[in-house]
Amino acid sequence: MNKKIWVKVSYILASLLVFGVFLYLIQIPSAKDFLTKIENTTFDLRQNIVSKHKKTSDKIVIIDVNDASYEYIVDKYGSWPAPRAFWADLITNLEPVHPDMIIFDMLFLKKHKADGASDFELIKAVNTNKNVYISMNLDNYPPEVRIPPQLPDALKNTIENDFLIKQNPDLSYSNCRPVIDEILNGTKNIGLINVQRDKDGILRTMPPFSYYKGAYYKHLTILAGLDYLNIDKNSFKMNRNGNIALDKKHTLPLTKEGKVILNWYGPEWSFNYVPLWRTVEAIKKNDRKFLEDNFKDKIVFVGVTANSLSDIKSTPVSYMFPGVEVQATFLNNLLDNNFIKKTSVFFDILIALLLAVLTGFGVMNFKAPMKAVLLFFGLQAAYFVISILLMGFFNIWTGLIAPFVLSILTFIAAYVVKYLLTSRDYEHTYKLAVTDGLTEMFNHRYFQEQMTNNIGNAKRYNSVFSLIMVDIDFFKKFNDTYGHQSGDAVLRQVAQTIKRNIRSTDIPCRYGGEEMSVILTNTNKEDAVKTAIKICEAVRNKEFELATGDWTHVTISLGVAAMPENGDTTEKLIEYADKCLYIAKRNGRNQVVSEAPEDTPTE
């Protein structure tokens, strides 16, 4: 096969093998979970980079129950939580400065039996102010602990083509922690604050809807966001890509788990915070300027940030992220329509294939390994930078780990293929360097090397080896009679006959002209003579084809020498075998001679 074609075929086969291994790996649950965990970590890294350049909406402000505010409430009221009337007063005193919304990231559950008047004040403040939003939570407590309540129809929603949400059991709940009954039935501004962390404990996504008793319920921020955008709807439709269109501009791009991926705005405290104690003091002092500067025409979240009250989440940008800021981030994403959109598995595989092909191309075509390594890391770095830009400017999360894994597998496979091809080329080149082109026996240079090696081994291990020198009888006359082309043909056929009558461990060589030799490793003289006789008879009995198409017979003469009895150097062994060969020719040719007197001349 042509070398270039062989290289291409080898590379294609290796690439297909690597791609098959890659597809197999991502189907193994443990491997898939491991790759997902690393991919999520790369998302966190990119979010940390791009979030520093994002700005939160100046329309959102957070009244936070920080550590100082917590101590303030405990000092004023003796314990936490504050009486319900405290929150009613907060609502009543903020309304005159006209905030767009007041959203409580806090649960007001059952009535306090000892403080019914305080509950009534909160009920009145919430139900009479249509811009106040209250939290509710779903859970899976058994009915023995809490009888699952029936929620008002006004809170229910329907989703057409809801396959993504229904296939995720984590979004379906069997019980509910409702707010005070009078609030539950007095306002429709009640939304869920359920959050769900990934397996590593990091909160990256939020569920816009959850399922309970045959109906869907909106998340608190989805409810408030739709009202803020003047989108009045309780019926939604999901398209086949998992997107829910809220209006012509705003869309909820759902993951395959039925959630949205949050786009973070930096480390914690990225929104405008106003401590609760400072707000209460401004109300007491009737500091209207302070209240208007901070809350007029604002979306006001009220939530806990004090570490001691434990509403702290781990997010991609911080391990100490206030829960209320998670809710604010969710709403900010909705208003800006900048939720993160993750590319499909198909797209990630295409990118992985592209990087793998470029990686393999570099390995197969660059002779210097360093160039291939630099190309590999250059491609990975370039793709990483592109992925950051896509996330920063277009809110697109492209997979990094699948392309990296496939690229590195391709890199390794390409080097294995290249090594095998290089080894094959080296073997071929080496074979050409040590092989005689006409007879396909080893050449004289290789003969000398092997003689030296065998002598060294024989001396080192006190072993034996033998040498047979072969000469075709009357070969000069044969060439003159039949021509050099026929002579070459006979020379090739004699060489093949010799190779067929020796062991695979023996070394047949063309010594020069019509003279050939065989090095018999680990062979004493007696066995060498037997082999020489076998070769002599095989040549004598064989009919050889000439270049003209005619057939003829030839004979050979053979001389045998062995180490150590006939010499312990290359020169001495060759000299002794030549003397035996001379005697064979002098005595009529077509025979084997293994003994030569010291005064025997050589040709």
Instruction: Quickly list H helices, 439-544.
Output: 444-461, 475-482, 484-500, 525-541
433 close to 425: Cβ distance less than 8 angstroms: no
Strand pairing of 556-563 and 465-472? antiparallel
Tokens 């922690």 sit on residue: 177
The DSSP 8-state label assigned to residue 49 in this structure reads: H
In one-letter notation, the amino acid at residue 298 is K
Taking every pair of Cα atoms in the chain, the longest distance, rounded to a whole number of angstroms, is 138
Structure tokens at 311: 């509403």
Phi/psi at 469 (5° precision):
-105, 135
The DSSP element (H or E) to which 186 belongs, if any, is none
Angle at 532 between CA 488 and CA 469, to 5 degrees: 55
- For 187, residues 6+ apart whose C-beta sits below 8 A from its C-beta are 126, 127, 130, 132, 134
Is 71 noted as a catalytic residue in this protein? no
The token duo for 355 is: 């990087």
Where does 337-443 have alpha helices with state H? 345-365, 369-394, 401-434
**Complete DSSP assignment for 378-408:** HHHHHHHHHHHHHHHHH-EE--SHHHHHHHH
Q: Which helix or strand (DSSP H or E) is residue 466 part of?
A: strand 465-472
For 263, residues 6+ apart whose C-beta sits below 8 A from its C-beta are: 47, 54, 329, 333, 338, 339, 340, 395
- What does the block give as tokens for 412? 């390794």
Of 39, 325, 514, 515, the catalytic one is 514
Only one residue has tokens 């008047």, namely 117
For the CA atoms of 152, 154, 159, 160, the dihedral, rounded to the nearest 10 degrees, stands at 110
CB 280 within 8 A of CB 64: no
- Per-residue DSSP letter, 230: T
Q: What CA dihedral angle connects 287, 293, 296 and 301, to 10 degrees?
A: -90
Please report where in the chains the tokens 């064989």 appear, as a residue: 542
> What amino acid positions are annotated as catalytic residues?
514
